[in-house]
Structure 1
Amino acid sequence: MAALPHAPPETGPLRRPGLPPIRRVHRRRRPSGEPPPLPRHLNASGRWWLGLSAGVFLAWVLVVVTDSLALVDAVDTSVLRAFAELRSPVLTDVAEVTGVLAGGRAIHVLWLANLAVLVVFRRWHHLFVWVGVGLLVVNAGVLLTRTLQRPRPYGVEVLGDWSGYSMPSLPVTVLAAFLVSTVYALVPAGRPRTIGKAVVAGLLTLTALSRLYLAQDHPTDVLAGVVLGVALPLAAFRLLTPNDVHPVRYRRGSPAHLDVSGARGAAIVRALQDQLGLLATDVAPFGLAGSGGSTPLRIAVKSDAGPRDGADGPGADGDSYVFGKLYAATHVRSDRWFKLGRTLLYGRMEDEKPFHSVRRLVQYEDYVLRVFTDAGLPVPQPLGIVEITPEREYLLVAEFLRGAQEIGDAEIDDGVIDQGLAVVRRMWDIGAAHRDIKPANVMVRGGTLYLIDSAFAELRPSPWRQAVDLANMMLVLALRTDAERVLARARLRFSDEELAEAFAATRGLTMPSQLRRCLRADARDLHGDFLRLLPYRLPPVRIQRWSWRRAGLSLVALLGLLLAAVVLVDLLGSPL
């Protein structure tokens, strides 16, 4: 390693924020058996529909065991005969029109319309549940009809089209499942969804009356089809896409940002008091534009200090603030897919192994924050971890940098530039890399620079990753100044060889997406300016990395896409 051309400037030790005066109360351990602050449940209607499904299944077991199918047929036939006595040319035309929804073409149109809307609005979680529910209901319905082998109604003339066995009514089952899935996947919760449920109930009622009038199904066939078609998607969407985690909304915003009002907000307040002894008075989103993998929060908590003169709003009555990052299982799944995509496109460029649980993710970030704090790095001090829902939602609590600005909005001088470069040098000294240096993660307050969001940080990284951190920090600093000024300060702390290596390793993908956007929006070519100003250049470090693992994953992904296409075609072409 070449020697530094000059001694580093005397900027003093790196400073970090001090904790505000926060009031603490007695912490309460949740007794065994008590539900967590934000439990997951099906609600009464979900349990009722699942219980009704179990009741239908037990009823058919009882019918088969007691050999009383003839009695059920007699009751069904009497009902169908009562409908047949009402037949007239006009009512028959009406019944044929109202029964169109249960036809194969209408169901396929409904399926494709849902698919298109979910893809356009990129609600992938709802889409996966939608597809899974459709496959489950169709295959379960086909299996039941082939197992029970109940013939079509006899003793009454069948006017409509039909095929196969009748128990349960497969068209009614699939229609009910798709309509319920449509309501939970496309209609926002609240009054719109309540109206949507009423519309679905009306459509199913008209379809059922039509099929009974035309004698296409027995009454018990329709009943079983409705119960099966409603219960399965209702349970799936409420358990896998609860509105608190996956709200249906059509306004702009990242799906990673969870709604912290209502039940979740109350759960956060209660959990903070029980688990950390903090008395929260307000929970609000904060800095969402710079965060795509969690929900950042500004939390007002009771303080031991008196009221602040001239203050208003949350925190005015002697409150302080803490910072919270809310993580949920959906963030872990997104991280898993993100890292898989990077591996398929570029190979593993560093530690690309995903976290297997949200608890592990939060524990890791809290640990890294403590390592950085112990090393004297200017990062928010960690205050603890709060459990919202076991294995599903956790809140990482740290100090809030009150009055700090993103570096893109702050005025910086040589002292701030030196602090940013000193942060990178200190991370090199302790064997760490931040891995996500971008304007949103570099804050300035009162002439002091702070580094936040250590979720992607790595201990004992490769030299390549450390070099990338240096170049990204220099680019962030140059956005508010210029390349020549930043390079001049950097050469006081890093050798020319280190600087050349940093820009040989940094380009395109190695920069966070926000930093790439800022560089594109800047009229200057800052990356090119640094390359021109460097005393010499090194060959670019290769980013594309092939391995047997990448080749195998690519093959598996291709086979998975082909299988999904086959299943989709089979589902669209399945007879109803």
Structure 2
Amino acid sequence: MASVPQALPAAGTTGPVVRPGPPAIARVRRRRRPSGEPPPLPRQLRASGKWWLALSGAVVLAWVVVVVTGTIRYFDVADTRVLQAFAELRTPLGTDLARAAGVLATERALHVMWLANLVMLVAFRRWRHLFVWFGVVLVVVNVAALTATTLQRPRPFEVELLGTWSGFSMPSLPMTVLAAFLVSTVYALVPPGRKRTIGKWVVCGLIVVTALSRLYLAQDHPSGIVAGVVLGVAAPLAAFRLLTPNSVYPVRYSRGRPAHLDVSGERGDAIVRALQDQLGLLATDVTPHGLAGSGGSTPLRITVKAHPSTGEGESCVFGKLYAITHVRSDRWYKLGRTLLYGRLEDEKPFHSVRRLVQYEDYILRLFWEASLPVPHPLGIVEITPEREYLLVTEFIAGAQEAGDAEIDDAVIDQGLAAVRRMWDIGMAHRDIKPANLLVRDGDLFLIDSAFAEVRPSPWRQAVDLANMMLVLALRTDAARVYARARRQFTDEEIAEAFAATRGLTMPTQLRRMLRQQGRDLHADFLRLLPFQLPPVHIQRWTWRRFGLTAVTVAAAGVAAVVTVGLLGSPL
């Protein structure tokens, strides 16, 4: 067990406040995963996905063979015999029914389906599914159109064609697009499980009915329909299973944040197995904890077996589950901040979830070694290589968030001393808010160091001080916090902090709680200052900011043009 450093001495006390060490946890021998063994939570295309991809590969291979050998006439003869058999069954009533049954493959119906999917995905803010769906449609439409133009197979002959048609017939472009739309709709809008299974059978029925309609009307060759359906099903099936797996991007209609992953089922089992193999912890339960205050990860309370010397059966550790989704969200978040703020932020996005977790673990250990009141770091657990990792730390049992806890002078001094200590070691927390300050038995703990920065700008350090004072004043008042702050900071430092801080530099939770209380604590602190410094402007234009803005605007324009062009393209 690592040694436990002491907390910072609180101003006005006779000695340092000793923090309890991390709970005694039972450990077992760690197991190294042998080479070639799948990780606890592997990415799987599943058997059906592999089967559809193999089938699409067989279709492509058949196209190549036909083009090279010139054996298309054999397909023409076989297809014609099938269409002639359907033609013999035609009746006036049957023709009307066939026209009605094939309405889904018409140009207007496909455009309506396109717009309906677009509106629903945007309305539910399912951006990942929207981008994958948009990419799948572009790929499928262009590949099918290019193949049809290359093969140049004419429409069926020796059989009367009923209904409208255009272009070449291998593969059937309407059936290809219809299959892609329907499968994409199921994976993007229908929750996994029984509902999605029913949706797949409904899609299968719609495709079969539409295909029979087009065969009855002789609008397509049988082989063209089969090839189109295989391409239209295989592409979205593989794309959605690989790029939007249910375990990472679940389709749900609850109010939960997208950053909060489901830790039941396969993922929960994978976490338990990985904790035992990689950290030697015997976990018995994994449950979400404190989701309301976390928007960039999935915080977990993990129940583990306690050390026999404690006489207790169970103990708890804290886990932060990070996935590739959080890295991508971090990139967009920092891009937006760069566009809004400019050079003062000087933020660089993480390029992998592994680096993100390594960085937070590194910062946490720096804080711990500097005797800052932070949870004891316990290690990193790999759930899926380069996709999901779990950061494990001490669990501060029985603690309350600063927005709900009783704040006395000792707690105020500890919070201000933590900021002073970060200034001394050249670091900044950068996310000081009520959810990241915990109070237990009069001791304050600083958590969530994911946004912390080494050697930050003086502006960033000043913002930390102002946010700490605002959080501590939520449960007290500005005058009391200001009086305690003058024991550790000069009036000039405090004035600089509130000159650098305004609404945009405060965490969202802090701004929300200030609005709920109806108090303008920022103005209260400004009135207490003996003098005020000019506001620090955070809007700074640089060539990098200008270039990113131009590229963002251009990309949005191109996406709009492509969308309009695709909507207007004939099928």
TM-score, normalised to structure 2's length? 0.97
Match of 1:240 among 235, 240, 243: 243
The answer for the alignment partner of 2:499 in structure 1 is 504
Q: Distance in 2 between matches of 1:210 and 1:324?
A: 55
Q: Distance in 1 between matches of 2:42 and 2:433?
A: 36
2:92 aligned with 1:114, yes or no?
A: no
Q: Distance in 2 between matches of 1:13 and 1:193?
A: 59
The answer for the alignment partner of 1:314 in structure 2 is none
Secondary structure at 1:480's aligned position in 2?
coil
Match of 1:92 among 92, 95, 98: 95
The answer for the alignment partner of 1:54 in structure 2 is 57
The answer for the alignment partner of 1:205 in structure 2 is 208
Deviations 1:362-405 (A, max 9, x none): 00000000000000001001100000000000000000001111
User: Number of paired residues?
Assistant: 562
Q: Distance in 2 between matches of 1:127 and 1:136?
A: 14
Q: Distance in 1 between matches of 2:554 and 2:568?
A: 21
Deviations 1:155-202 (A, max 9, x none): 001001000000000000000001000000000000000000000000
2:269 aligned with 1:274, yes or no?
A: no
Which ranges in structure 1 are unaligned for 5 or more consecutive residues? 1-6, 309-316
Is the 8 Å Cα contact of residues 14 and 377 (structure 1) preserved in structure 2?
Answer: no
Q: Distance in 1 between matches of 2:58 and 2:533?
A: 73
The answer for the alignment partner of 1:481 in structure 2 is 476
- Whichever residue aligns with residue 395 of structure 1, its letter is L
* Structure 1 residue ranges, 4+ long, deviating more than 6 angstroms after superposition: none
Q: Distance in 2 between matches of 1:44 and 1:496?
A: 68
Secondary structure at 2:300's aligned position in 1?
strand
The answer for the alignment partner of 1:311 in structure 2 is none
Relative to structure 1, the CA distance from residue 480 to residue 11 in structure 2 (aligned partners, 3 Å threshold; closer, same or farther) is: farther
The answer for the alignment partner of 2:532 in structure 1 is 537
In the TM superposition, 1:375-454 aligns within 5 A as: 375-454=370-449
Is the 8 Å Cα contact of residues 132 and 240 (structure 2) preserved in structure 1?
Answer: yes
Q: Distance in 1 between matches of 2:382 and 2:542?
A: 39
Q: Distance in 2 between matches of 1:341 and 1:462?
A: 20
Secondary structure at 2:380's aligned position in 1?
strand
- Whichever residue aligns with residue 13 of structure 1, its letter is P
Q: Distance in 2 between matches of 1:76 and 1:11?
A: 94
- Whichever residue aligns with residue 324 of structure 2, its letter is A
Is the 8 Å Cα contact of residues 410 and 444 (structure 1) preserved in structure 2?
Answer: yes
Q: CA deviation at 1:63?
A: 2.5
Q: Distance in 2 between matches of 1:566 and 1:491?
A: 58
The answer for the alignment partner of 1:313 in structure 2 is none
The answer for the alignment partner of 1:299 in structure 2 is 302
* Aligned-CA RMSD value: 1.2
- Percent of paired sites with the same residue: 76
Q: Distance in 2 between matches of 1:400 and 1:305?
A: 19
The answer for the alignment partner of 2:137 in structure 1 is 134
Q: Distance in 1 between matches of 2:505 and 2:446?
A: 19
Q: CA deviation at 1:17?
A: 4.1
- Whichever residue aligns with residue 15 of structure 2, its letter is G
2:336 aligned with 1:341, yes or no?
A: yes
Is the 8 Å Cα contact of residues 24 and 310 (structure 2) preserved in structure 1?
Answer: no
Q: Distance in 1 between matches of 2:461 and 2:549?
A: 29
The answer for the alignment partner of 1:164 in structure 2 is 167
Is the 8 Å Cα contact of residues 67 and 151 (structure 2) preserved in structure 1?
Answer: no
Secondary structure at 2:254's aligned position in 1?
coil
In the TM superposition, 1:13-92 aligns within 5 A as: 13=16, 15-92=18-95
- Whichever residue aligns with residue 213 of structure 1, its letter is Y
Deviations 1:331-385 (A, max 9, x none): 0000000111111122133231100000000000000000000000010011000
The answer for the alignment partner of 1:103 in structure 2 is 106
Match of 2:259 among 256, 260, 275: 256
Secondary structure at 2:211's aligned position in 1?
helix
Is the 8 Å Cα contact of residues 296 and 326 (structure 1) preserved in structure 2?
Answer: yes
Q: CA deviation at 1:121?
A: 1.0
2:527 aligned with 1:557, yes or no?
A: no
Is the 8 Å Cα contact of residues 17 and 381 (structure 1) preserved in structure 2?
Answer: no
2:214 aligned with 1:214, yes or no?
A: no
Q: CA deviation at 1:65?
A: 3.1
Secondary structure at 2:249's aligned position in 1?
coil
TM-score, normalised to structure 1's length? 0.96
Is the 8 Å Cα contact of residues 483 and 529 (structure 1) preserved in structure 2?
Answer: yes
Deviations 1:456-511 (A, max 9, x none): 00011111111000000000000000000000000111100000000000001111
Q: Distance in 2 between matches of 1:244 and 1:381?
A: 29
Q: Higher mean Cα deviation, 514-523 or 359-368?
A: 514-523
Q: CA deviation at 1:8?
A: 5.2
Q: Distance in 2 between matches of 1:410 and 1:283?
A: 26
Is the 8 Å Cα contact of residues 25 and 305 (structure 2) preserved in structure 1?
Answer: yes
Secondary structure at 1:324's aligned position in 2?
strand
Q: Distance in 1 between matches of 2:567 and 2:196?
A: 27
Relative to structure 1, the CA distance from residue 376 to residue 420 in structure 2 (aligned partners, 3 Å threshold; closer, same or farther) is: same
Q: CA deviation at 1:306?
A: 7.2
Match of 2:486 among 479, 483, 491: 491
Secondary structure at 1:159's aligned position in 2?
coil
The answer for the alignment partner of 1:574 in structure 2 is 569
- Whichever residue aligns with residue 48 of structure 1, its letter is W
Q: Distance in 2 between matches of 1:15 and 1:204?
A: 69
Is the 8 Å Cα contact of residues 346 and 543 (structure 1) preserved in structure 2?
Answer: yes
The answer for the alignment partner of 1:3 in structure 2 is none
Which ranges in structure 2 are unaligned for 5 or more consecutive residues? 1-9
Deviations 1:77-126 (A, max 9, x none): 00000000011110101111111100111111111111111111111100
Match of 1:289 among 275, 288, 292: 292
